[in-house]
Amino acid sequence: MSFAALLLGLPWGSLLGGAAALFQRHQEHRQRVELLKREGQIEAGRAAAFTASQHAAAAESGDGVWVWVKSLRYGTRFLLTWLVIFSAVVVSFLPEPGPLAPKLFALADLAFGWWFGTRSPAPAPAAAPTPSK
């Protein structure tokens, strides 16, 4: 290899390598920006779905429903919950509970947990400490 070929080859190879690295970084940046845009769209969709579910829940129990319908709905939930729990207690004392007993116990456990666990009031927040003088 001649000295002239060596001098001409080094700068061009280094320039091409640098251009390839710049192009690769540009491609990675574009992919990252596209990924962030898609994640933003997904989060916006989640927020819209959450808002829609909140509006639906508010409409279901909102002021547009007659009082007697609300009373019937809440009374039915209450009675069905306690009916399932009472049935499970009765079945547990039978000598031959039958094949549906485990399902009835699971349903009673679910109803009991829903009624007292998830619907219980949230604990009061801890009082903020008062500054001492």
Residue 133 has pLDDT above 60, yes or no: no
CB distance 113 to 130 below 8 Å: no
Q: Which pLDDT band, with edges at 50, 70 and 90, does 112 fall under?
A: confident
The verdict on pTM exceeding 0.75 is: no
Q: Specify the pLDDT at position 64.
A: 66
The average pLDDT across 54-66 equals: 68
Rounded to an integer, the average pLDDT of 61-74 is 72
Instruction: List the chain domain ranges.
Output: 10-60, 65-120
Indicate if the pLDDT at residue 61 is higher than 80. no
71: number of Cβ within 10 Å = 10
Neighbours of 104 (CB within 10 A): 18
Q: Who has greater pLDDT, 127 or 48? A: 48
- Amino acid letter, 100: L
Residue 91, pLDDT above cutoff 70: yes
